[in-house]
Amino acid sequence: MSIGLHHQVVVNPAVFAASLDNSAVLLDIQSGRYFEFDTVGSDIWTRIAQPRQVDALCADLAADYDATIDTIRASVLTFLTQLADKGLIEVRDA
């Protein structure tokens, strides 16, 4: 799936998440698979608990992390594409 800055993303309601120290552990109840995210992945997951436009998500992350907006956009789009390919998030046209 190709995700663009104009898309809206939100966590799949069939995925349960728990915070552990500086990470998040997820359980996809449909597939029975577990996933673990580092601090940044966990932060993104928290921020998309409610529907968010990808460009706005990237702008918020750029305000909180020491990286260029272009670097953040590239990393976030890659991460979100991986999440979508695993069925962990829903992608909508904004």
Measured distance CA(66)–CA(24) in Å, rounded:
21
Asked if residue 31 is part of any domain, the answer here is: yes
Measured distance CA(22)–CA(56) in Å, rounded:
23
Provide the number of structural domains found in the chain. Answer: 1
The 10s digit of each residue's pLDDT in 16-34 is 999 888 889 999 998 999 9
Task: With cut-offs at 50, 70 and 90, classify the pLDDT of residue 41.
Answer: very high
**What pLDDT shows up at residue 1?**
74
Domain that holds residue 71: 7-93
pTM over 0.95, yes/no: no
Asked if residue 11 is part of any domain, the answer here is: yes
**What pLDDT shows up at residue 94?**
80
Asked if residue 51 is part of any domain, the answer here is: yes
Asked if residue 78 is part of any domain, the answer here is: yes
Measured distance CA(30)–CA(34) in Å, rounded:
11
Whichever domain contains 79, its CATH number is 3.90.930.60
Residues 6+ apart with CB under 8 A from 24: 17, 18, 36, 37, 41, 42, 45, 46
The 10s digit of each residue's pLDDT in 50-90 is 999 999 999 999 999 999 999 999 999 999 999 999 999 99
State residue 68 phi and psi, 5-degree precision: -70, 155
Measured distance CA(82)–CA(8) in Å, rounded:
15
Asked if residue 2 is part of any domain, the answer here is: no
